[in-house]
Chain A
Amino acid sequence: MNDEQRLEAWFSEREVAPKNVRAGVALVMTHVRKTRQQGRWLPLPLHRPKAPVPSATDTIEYPPSAIPATEGQIPIVIGRTHPMFSPAKAITAAALVFGIGGVMLIAQPFDQQGSAPGAPADAVAPTRVTGEIGWASSCTGPDTVVDGDVTHQWNYDCSPQTWTASDPRLSGQVVARWNNDAYLVDGRYIVVNTSLDIVTNDAGGWVCTSTGLYEGPVLGGEVALGDMATDCVGQGGYEGLSAVFVRSMPPGGSSEEFVGLIFSGDRPPLPEPPAAG
């Protein structure tokens, strides 16, 4: 039996039926009666499937009767049979007018760019990137010093990693190193981690730093407490680029996934935090 057959058989064996569908739905309905439906996003209209158009050969119970002509004249319907106004059309038209107007207001010849109030000089849309980080098969290090309930670790080296990204600029072989401060709390280690990743491919490279929190019963056996935030600065052929992404470590997996943005130029500053009070 191969893996696929074994999995199919196993899924089939462990399958159970719900205990009581009616009771479950009754519970759902008690919530539904108290829950308002969220509105749909305007001005996008709901999609309605078109009614099938009967073909000439279809038989129908009440076939349409011909409109009788008067004195040999064919009757003509004058005027519209449907109202012209619809809220969706009005909103769409308004959006188009403002959209086109906005573009015409901002768009300028190349030699005058940047002079429009509020238009950033080098605003280029960032590129969305997703990818996977394949881990190294083994690690070396770390150097360790225990200081009471804190264990400092450094020179942890788990290289080479392989990054495979939707944008080839962030793909390549990676030297991955990190330092940890592991705090022993209630018999478990909470680890504050700072990582350095040096990515190299044929066209250039990146230097990336990340921070993250991990937890586990033993040192070296921790799992991520959440996604890690990573900042990258382009090197060599990617000089002048920057990237930012979050990476998630699925429990039990042997790789990480990431999603983020590549910017032309420095990473834009973070938005201002909301005012206190």
Chain B
Amino acid sequence: MDQDLVVRVQQGDQRAFEMLAIADYPRLFRVAHGVLGDRALAEDATQQALVDIWRKMRRLRDPAKYGGWSYRLLVRVCYAEAKRQPGWPSSEDLGPATEPQAVDAYGPIADRDQLERGFRRLSMDHRMVLTLRYLLGMTPDEVAEMLDLPRSTVYSRLQAATKAMRAVLEADARNLTAARARQEVRL
């Protein structure tokens, strides 16, 4: 990101902010969509984050830190955006949407659905570290720096999130095995 542009925005230059917003929109949207999993929500979160960036830009002391700082503002907006949605799935509401599928037997489409459901059961903290790690390809150390968290917290969140997603896939696989067994008994 052009640091001069950031400095000009800090001085209240709206034209500079418009240029910065156009350059930054795809980057922020990418992460918002990764975390929220919904295009409309991600658009709303990105736009709200940009307004927050404008409002708080003068509080950013080091323009070189703009990248991580803007992600942190986006994270807060994603939290708020998810809470505002009345139909936002909580862990208890997310029953199997379709007939359970085996983990590897039914190919990539089933796998995608299962991963999506597993991902939606995660907290926003866990989704954020997974998104930065696997969508943006950051190392855990970079994630820690980006989110201003201790390294150990990032490692434990990554581990817990991966474990939770694996548990969903395994539970689906068990359900399928049980369903098949019941079907065989009926036959």
Name the A residues within 8 Å of B58 (CB-CB): 37-40
Residues of B within 8 Å of A, CB-based: how many?
Answer: 60
Distance to closest chain B CB from A247 (angstroms)? 13
Nearest residue, chain A, Cβ from B28: A18
Point out the residues of chain A lying under 8 angstroms from B39, CB to CB: 16, 19
Contact between chains at B123 and A250 (CB < 8 Å): yes
Q: B63 and A49: CB pair below 8 A? A: yes
Main secondary structure, interface of B, reads helix
Nearest Cβ on chain B to A10's Cβ, whole angstroms:
5
8 Å CB contact of B160 from A19, A41, A253: A253
A41 with B59: in contact, given A10-B112, A24-B47 (CB under 8 Å)? Answer: yes
Chain A interface bracket (under 10, 10 to 19, 20 to 34, 35 or more): 35 or more
Q: How far is the CB of B114 from chain A (nearest CB, A)?
A: 10
Contacting A at CB under 8 A, from B142-181, are 153, 156, 160, 162-166
Q: Are B162 and A32 neighbours in the complex by a CB distance under 8 Å?
A: no
Instruction: State the total of A-B contacts with C-beta under 8 angstroms.
Output: 139
CA–CA, A39 and B57, complex, Å: 9
Contact of A25 among B25, B42, B125, B156 (CB under 8 A): B25
Interface string of A203-238 (1 = CB under 8 A from B): 000000000000011000111000000000000000
Q: Which residues of B contact A223 (CB under 8 A)?
A: 90-92
Across the interface, which residues of A come within 8 angstroms of B166, CB to CB? Answer: 3
Q: Which one of B46, B124, B163 contacts A24 once the chains associate, using CB atoms below 8 Å?
A: B46
Q: Which residues of A contact B54 (CB under 8 A)?
A: 28, 32, 35, 37
Report B102-142 residues with CB < 8 Å from chain A CB. 108, 111-112, 115-116, 121-126, 130-131, 134-135, 137
Task: Tell me whether A18 and B91 are in contact in the complex, defined as CB-CB below 8 angstroms, given that A24-B43, A27-B47, A44-B61 are known contacts.
Answer: no
Determine how close the nearest CB of chain B comes to the CB of A239; give it in whole angstroms: 30
* A29 and B125 contact, CB distance less than 8 A: no
B67 within 8 A of A: no
Is A18's CB under 8 angstroms from B130's CB? no
Contact check, B34 vs A11: say whether CB atoms are below 8 A apart.
Answer: yes
CB atoms of B115 and A15 under 8 A apart: no
- Please report the C-alpha to C-alpha distance between residue A22 and residue B63 in the assembled complex, in whole angstroms: 24
Which residues from chain B sit less than 8 Å from chain A, CB to CB? 3, 7, 10, 12, 14, 17-18, 21-22, 25-26, 29-30, 33-34, 37, 39, 42-43, 46-47, 50-51, 54-59, 61-64, 90-92, 108, 111-112, 115-116, 121-126, 130-131, 134-135, 137, 153, 156, 160, 162-166
Given contact pairs A6-B111, A10-B134, a sample of 4 additional A-B residue pairs in the complex whose CB atoms are under 8 Å apart: A16-B39, A22-B22, A29-B17, A250-B123
Question: Could you give 15 example pairs across A and B, Cβ below 8 Å?
Answer: A6-B111, A7-B134, A12-B135, A16-B33, A16-B39, A19-B43, A25-B22, A28-B47, A29-B14, A38-B59, A40-B59, A47-B64, A49-B3, A254-B160, A254-B164
